Amino acid sequence: MGRFLRIPAAKDSESSGMTELLRAFFRLTLLPPVRLLYRLRVLHADRIPARGGVLLVSNHVSYLDSFVLYAACPRPVRFVIVSRYLRSKAISWFLRLFGAIPITPGQSREAIRITAECLKNGDVVCIFPEGQLTRTGMLNELKKGFELIARKADCPVQPVWMQGLWGSVFSFERGRYFHKWPRRIPWPVTVAFGKPLPAATAKIAWAREALLELSAESLTVHPDLETSLATALVRGLKRRPGTPCFAEYGNKGNPPRRLKRHHVLSISIALAARWRETLPENERAIGVFLPSGATPALINLALIFAGRVPVNLFFPDSAEGTLDAEKISTALRATGVRTVITSRAFLGALGQVNWSDADSPGQFIDMGAEMSATGLGRRLQERILAYLEPVWMTVRRLDLPRDTGFETVWSCVNDDGQVHKLHDLAVLAQAKRLINGNWIETGEALFTEQNLASVSGALWSLWLPVLHGFKAVGRSWAARGDDSLMETICRQENVRRLVLSPASAESLAASEEPWHPEQRTALKSVILPLPGTDLTGLSPAPNPVESIVGAPLCPAFGPESLGSGVLAISQPDPNPEAMKHIHEPQSGRREGSPGRLLPGISVKKGAGGDGICVRGPGIGDGTTWIDLGHQLTLDADGFLHLGGNTSK
């Protein structure tokens, strides 16, 4: 490998008092800043064997992974790294000091031998089996080198998952590793150690399952999930209150309606104050019968702030749909809802509703009248407080719960009549999973008209904008038949992602007229949520929608029957031209697949080895394995497929 790549044997290093002194010095000087930048939480550090060699296999997200893992592990760790870093005079001495083991792509035999010797000498060695930093934010293909090392050294293999590093300054979030400011200091990171496994049984399939299991456990204890949904909503809206949250466009000629975050918070709190006094005290569940958009989002927030449970009843996605009184009646009986907030424009259809108790019918409340009754003075006061009042004071003033609870806080009834009830942790975990990768970027403008009577739809149209700083834009219900308006909205609102239902995608494809070249360049992806487990409709690239908007079509998989939000997602291949000579290509999407499972979801084979089962926070009760069906499989890169079609 060359003289500059040779490293001292472990015993030689330990025999040098100066080397040990330098190591101790850098531990004392470098680890405190790491703990200052990252709020470390370590799970199961006691699982690390007290002595003897052990091979750690870990996910690889940022350039500071080694420092984070070194700070979290109770024993010193040596890392297997790409040899080109030891050719840099600026850092090679430091890497050698801590026993870094170089590996040259395509020439791994010597690195395997050296690593096995270190393990036989009793060292803790960490290898990143992906072979490079993830640019997808997900767990990519695992290489089998760790299997060869473990068998040669005859040592246990131990999985390690580092949760939360995506989004930090040295990850590929925002499309680059460097030259960006941190979004938050300290940045919360969880390091979870799995159970060691003998070398003979430590295979790639086991490593993937073990790492994803740790990712689910790590997400459960994320500090952002240790609060109530109501408190998280207040915190999300108070973060940069002057930035846009919602924008809605009506028919051409009408000005768009734009709401900044302080508008959303002030109107929601004003409505909540009114509803604490006017809504029936014995009714906790309140129906919402409105098309998706800014107004129903405000109503959902206000009901949560008022201590009620919004129950979103299915509403047709466009004005061409039919308001089915019988379907509404069935939903009301299934949920026990007796008060429904709607628009007087829909009261004609709602007059046909059959209440469960004909002698004591429920009531419909006009949203327009409720908005007017809040009063301009109260809204103005709350708008000022959105800037001046700290989160804890607002939470206390509104008497909102602070800790995570397991009572229902939000509900919906979808088009099939299925009722889904979500508690604090479920909503927060589903939203948190969805921002931990390269398919969307915090703060982007999303074009979304996803239905709030869908668990997955509410993620795009409500929870991501309010909790995580995105801007949701779309057309009013009456204007959704105008496909040309979509391009105008994307241009004026600087939209980077389209989130389209299959019906909207088909309508857009039928237009056949390509968008303006500038807009085609600006748009990054078209996200296509798939509400069921039928993946056969995924058409190969180039898709007609791609030809029109100029952005890749990226399916997202979230079976509505589970009520667990988005489970898997695709993304554009993250291979910038400037990096192709340094990094190996990575795949963000694959034909016939809706994508990879999101971090924070554990997976195993189904009964009899057929299909897959998943579990994790926000999926069912969070602890029970959910069978996705015997036809679904994962390929070597972690992509989800139907019927065993795992071709690359």
* DSSP-assigned letters across all residues of 9-71: -HHHHHH-HHHHHHHHHHHHHHHHHHHHHEEEEEE-GGGS-SSS-EEEEE---STTHHHHHHH
Q: Is the peptide bond before 159 cis (omega within 30 degrees of 0)?
A: no
With contact defined as beta carbons under 8 Å apart, do 151 and 173 qualify? no
14 or 97, which is more confident?
Answer: 97
Tokens of 241: 């209150």
DSSP structural state of residue 609: G
Q: What is the mean pLDDT of residues 162-186?
A: 83
- CA-angle at 348, arms to 343 and 351, nearest 5°: 100
Q: What is the mean pLDDT of residues 225-245?
A: 95
CA distance 71 to 48: 14
Coil, strand or helix at 525: strand
Q: What is the mean pLDDT of residues 157-184?
A: 86
With contact defined as beta carbons under 8 Å apart, do 64 and 92 qualify? no
With contact defined as beta carbons under 8 Å apart, do 126 and 199 qualify? no
Whole-model pTM?
A: 0.90
pLDDT, one tens digit per residue, over 445-485 is 999 999 999 999 999 999 999 999 999 999 998 888 888 89
Tokens of 248: 């809605």
Confidence of residue 9 (pLDDT cuts 50, 70, 90): very low
With contact defined as beta carbons under 8 Å apart, do 231 and 301 qualify? no
> Which ranges of 435-473 would DSSP assign to H, the alpha helix?
455-458, 464-468
466 or 81, which is more confident?
Answer: 466
> Which ranges of 107-196 would DSSP assign to H, the alpha helix?
109-120, 145-153
Burial class (CB in 10 A: 0-12, 13-18, 19+), 642: middle
Tokens of 79: 């890392």
CA distance 470 to 329: 35
CA distance 90 to 79: 18
- The residue type of 643 is G
Angle between helices 261-278 and 294-305 (to 10 degrees): 50
Coil, strand or helix at 440: coil
To 10 degrees, the CA torsion angle through 585, 586, 592, 598?
A: 180
Contacts of 432 (CB under 8 A, 6+ apart): 219, 222, 224, 225, 600
Q: What is the mean pLDDT of residues 73-84?
A: 83
pLDDT, one tens digit per residue, over 523-564 is 999 999 987 666 655 555 567 888 899 999 999 998 888 889
How many other CB atoms sit within 10 Å of the CB of residue 359? 5
CA distance 645 to 648: 9
With contact defined as beta carbons under 8 Å apart, do 229 and 304 qualify? yes
Tell me the domains of the chain and their CATH numbers.
3-221 (3.40.1130), 227-423 (3.40.50.980)
Radius of gyration of the CA atoms of the chain, in A: 27
Query: What percent of the chain clears pLDDT 70, i.e. is strictly above it?
Result: 90
- The residue type of 445 is A
